[in-house]
Structure formats: structure tokens, C-alpha cells
Amino acid sequence: MLLCVAGLMSSCASAENANSSVVTLPPPRKDGGMPLMEALARRQSQRELASTPLPDATLSSLLWAATGVNRAESGKRTVPSARNWQGIDVYVARADGLHVYDPAEHRLVRVMEQDVREAAGKQPFVREAPVVLIYVADAARMPDASADAVAFYSATDTGFISQNVYLFCAAHGLATVVIGWLDKDELGRRMKLGDSRRVILTQVVGYPAGQAESAPVKQAVADTPAVAWRDGAYRGRARGYVDDIVVDVVVRNGRIENVTVVEHKESRPLSAFRDMPRRVVLAQGPDGVDAVTGATVTAGALLTAVRQALEKAKP
């Protein structure tokens, strides 16, 4: 592990010596969120992204989920790594330049001012994505491994990281897709990676196109204190466009864990039933959650039903 940490610190140190800036990220959010099985059910690749920048609070939790330290005493990560080599670095390409994520300090270190997103994928949407993650393998951190082993473990470890990103995005209403169609050698040259380091994959992340208006709700989540609701399952009901909408709200450890629409006869855009319960959980209540365009009455009734349920959960 010391070899891995030393390798990354060397990269970060050289970046800082090159007059780069360090972004100290806010603490990642490690509690709450969506149940794993629901996140798996929602996991998908999405190529239509809004250009709205991701707030640092969201990026902080995203990077920690990707490959952050989850056991401080050992420095081990949220993803497994062959022989604990931790041979994959996550670079973050944005309009303000290229950064490398330092898991030990949970920060970003800018390694260059140039925007390299246009080289991170052949599809036009890649260069417009607010965040492009670039997964770089360092063979120098895999001593005594054959070339085949380096290639195998680099691909495997990158797969673990990218799937964590997929699940985080599914749970937080973000769009993402991995990119394999790119000139990896050209991107590596632009990043000035050197001989032992190689680009494996890239992955774009952003708000889904047309849904960037929910960004303020997501940004507020990391700073929203937990509301001390009483644990239990509570039902609420409100009149929708066609008939009553019935919801169940589950509270655990004082926080809203899940919101489920259990009954409705609406025919308006059903995206309200897909997106809004998740957004209520993220915001820990209906306040500040915007209605879905084209389904104002339906969305308003859903939020009213949630409020009615939460009235029963007040301490």
C-alpha cells in the first residue's frame, strides 16, 4: 500500500510544484441514499447530459464512492484492488483543467490548465460533459506483474471503480456512461502521463439533459441536517389529476429512507412517479423539490401526500 500511496503522492507533488491549485473537497456524504437494489434497478448508460457544472459537494461524494478511503487505519478503498496495488488513478477533466483525485487527502490536485475533454471520447457529447473521469493505470505500482497481468488487473480494477460511479449516479439522479471509443495514446500524450501510465477508460458524469433544474436540490443534500422523524412506515393520500395518489414513506434512524407510490390512476407523464420519490429522499422532505414539467397537478398531489404522511412521523 505504501508504494501505491507514494506513487500518487509523487504525482500530486509534481503537480503542486508545477504551480497547480489544490481543491479541498467537502466531506463526502456516507449515509442515507437509495437502497442498493433500487440503485441496481435504475443503473443505466445515459449519453444526453446537461452542461450544468456539478457542485463540489456532489463531486466529493461521487469520487469517494468511486475509490475513496473507507478504512482510515489501513488506507483501503471503497473498491477492491489486486494485491492492494491501488494502481488506478482517477483524473477529473473539467472546463477549468485536468485534476487528479487524491483519496488519502480527499482532494483534487490540478495537473494542468488545459481542457482535455475533447480528447476523452470521439462522441461530441463527451467534450460538453461537465465532468469526465479518466481512469489511468500505473504499471509501476504493479511490481513483478507480467504485461498480461498488468492489462488484466488494470481493466478489472477500472471496472470496479466505474461500476461504483454508475451506482452512485443511479442513486443520485445523475447521468453517466463509460467511453471506450477514444484515442487513448493521444489522450495520454495530452495528459503527459509518461511511459508507465496508460489510459484505460473514460466516463462522463452530469445531470440528465432537461433535468438540470433539480441541481439545487442535489447540492443542498450534503449540507441538509437530518430531520428527527419518528421511525416507522407512514401513508399519505392526496387528490391527483384523475384520482387519489397514495404514498408510503419509510423512516429509519430518523431519516426518510424510501418513498413509494402504492396507488394511482394518473395518465400524465409518469416521470413524476419515477423521479420525485427519489428527489424527496435526497432532499429529506418535499420542501424545495420542484414539480415535473407537464405533470404539475400529479406532482403537486404526490408532494402533498408525502407531507401528509410526514405529519404522522413528527416526534
The Cα 23–Cα 157 span in angstroms is 25
Asked, for residue 181, whether it belongs to a domain, the answer is: yes
pLDDT tops 60 at residue 246 = yes
Residue 178: CB atoms within 10 A of its CB come to: 19
By percentage, how much of the chain surpasses pLDDT 90? 57
- Cβ(133)–Cβ(200) below 8 Å: no
- Asked whether residue 58 falls in the same domain as residue 195, the answer is yes
189 and 239 assigned to the same domain: no
- Domain endpoint, select from 185, 213, 241: 213
Bridge partners (DSSP) of residue 248 are 235, 260
pLDDT of 101-159, one tens digit each? Answer: 999 999 999 999 999 999 999 999 999 999 999 999 999 999 989 999 999 999 999 99
Asked if residue 285 and residue 146 are part of one domain, the reply reads no
Based on the fold, state whether residues 13 and 117 are members of the same structural domain: yes
Clarify whether residues 240 and 195 are in a common domain. Answer: no
12 with 144, same domain: the answer is: yes
Here the CATH number for the domain that contains residue 261 is: 3.90.1010.20
For residues 60 and 158, membership in a common domain is answered with yes
Q: Mean pLDDT, to the nearest integer, of 231-252?
A: 90
If you count them, how many residues does the chain have? 315
Residue 227: half-sphere exposure toward Cβ, Cα within 13 Å: 19
Same domain, 14 and 43: yes
- CA dist list (Å): 206 to 50, 98, 101, 165, 302: 6, 17, 18, 11, 26
* Residues whose CB is less than 8 angstroms from the CB of residue 198 and which lie 6 or more positions away in sequence, other chains included: 136, 137, 139, 154, 184, 188
Give the separation between CA 58 and CA 55, rounded to whole angstroms.
Answer: 5
Chain centroid offset of residue 198 CA: 24
Q: Does the pLDDT at position 25 exceed 50?
A: yes
DSSP 66-134: HH-EEETTTTEESS--GGG---EEEEEEETTEEEEEETTTTEEEEEESS--GGGS-SSHHHHH-SEEEE
Whether 277 is in a domain gets the answer: yes
CB neighbour list of residue 308: distance below 8 Å, 6 or more residues apart = 236, 237, 238
Q: HSE on the CB side for 235, CA within 13 Å?
A: 6
Residue where one domain finishes, among candidates 180, 213, 246? 213
Which of the 8 DSSP states describes residue 248?
E
Most confident of 73-87, 202-216, 219-233, 283-297: 73-87
Q: Which residues constitute the domain of residue 82?
A: 2-213
pLDDT digits (tens, 9 = 90+) for 253-309: 888 888 998 888 877 556 677 778 888 888 888 886 776 656 678 888 889 999 999
Last residue of a domain, one of 145, 178, 213: 213
> Do 97 and 206 belong together in one domain?
yes
Contact criterion met (CB below 8 Å) for 276 and 292? yes
> 0.75 exceeded by the pTM?
no
Q: Is residue 218 part of a domain?
A: no
Total of domains in the chain: 2
For residue 295, tell me if it sits in a domain. yes
Q: Are both 115 and 136 inside the same structural domain?
A: yes
- pLDDT at residue 13, as a whole number: 41
CATH code, 83: 3.40.109.10
For residue 221, is it within any domain?
no
> At residue 181, does pLDDT exceed 80?
yes
